[in-house]
Structure 1
Amino acid sequence: MTLPQLNIYRHDRGTRALITLAGEIDPVTAPQVRTVLERCLDDGITTIDVDLTTVGRCDSSGLRVFLDTSRHAAEARASLRLHHPSPQTARLLADTGSDRVLLTWRR
């Protein structure tokens, strides 16, 4: 059995961070995503953009991380937005109504 792999890249520019994720977001990798997003808020980042272009799959554990972090960001007067989700992830967001909170655009 192989473990899911997720690569996380963070690029800051002032108070804005671009987080690029590559791989799968599931119960094994979601804590890594939570850590990097929460660290952005701890570092004073006010705009967090998450690029999902190369995320093949995101399950409910990943969705929970994004929703929790979005709530924490709002409490800190910051924002978190997801960009370029796969069709599967876009469906998950739409089916749960989370697209209105997390996406900068809707299909």
Structure 2
Amino acid sequence: MRVPPVLNVHRHDTGGRALITLTGEIDLDSAPLVHASLERCLHDGIRAIDVDVTAVTFCGHNSLNAFLCSLLHTAAAGGSLQLHHPSPALERLVELTGSGSLFVTLPDAFAGTRPPPLFSPLHAASYPLLPGLSALPGGVL
């Protein structure tokens, strides 16, 4: 019997912005949880979503599909979704599909009305990524 991988999702809201921290594996079984978590932000009125994938140990094509689908819904709602601190494997997957620029060129409904992002967005392979931030006690960033 196959044991499904574990994926933990933590959400921290600050004003109209949410930080979603993912820990574990994102595969066919857990990708719907990622998508549902991001969609819940939109349902709750959040339009600026940051997804920290520092602690994601596996990211298959299903995870990219969940991120892209949520990205489209977020953009349609006038918001932005950014991935932060991707693993080399996720960077490569994004690079191979040519979808990296989608995560940094969305119109931002809050442009000029909020502080800059706390983390660097996922860039194309030619742009360096900033190192991850340390978690506060309790595992919340």
Give the TM interval when normalised to the shorter protein.
over 0.9
Superposed, 1:1-107 pairs within 5 Å as: 1-102=2-103, 104=121, 105-107=123-125
- Counterpart Cα distance in 1 of 2:10 and 2:85: 16
Give the secondary structure class of the aligned counterpart of 1:91.
Answer: helix
Shift of 1:57: 1.3
Q: Which has the larger radius of gyration?
A: 2
* Bigger share in helix: 1
Counterparts of 2:79 and 2:91, CA distance in 1: 23
Q: Secondary structure at the match of 2:24?
A: strand
User: In percent, how many aligned pairs have the same letter?
Assistant: 50
Tell me by how many angstroms 1:3 deviates: 1.4
> Distance in 1 between the 2:84 and 2:7 partners?
17
Distance 1:54 1:80 in 2: 18
* Amino acid in structure 2 at the alignment position of 1:106: A
Q: How far 1:102 moved relative to its partner?
A: 2.1
Q: TM-score, normalised to structure 1's length?
A: 0.95
- Between 1 and 2, higher relative CO (CA 8 Å, sep ≥ 6) is seen in 1
Where does structure 2 lack aligned partners over 5 or more consecutive residues? 105-120, 126-141
CA shift digits 1:9-33 (9 cap, x unpaired): 0000010000000011100100111
Per-residue CA deviations over 1:38-60 (Å, capped at 9, x if unaligned) read: 00001110100000000011111
Give, in whole Å, the separation in 2 of the partners of 1:18 and 1:26: 21
- Runs of 4+ aligned structure 1 residues displaced above 4 Å come to none
Structure 1 portions without partners, runs of 5+: none
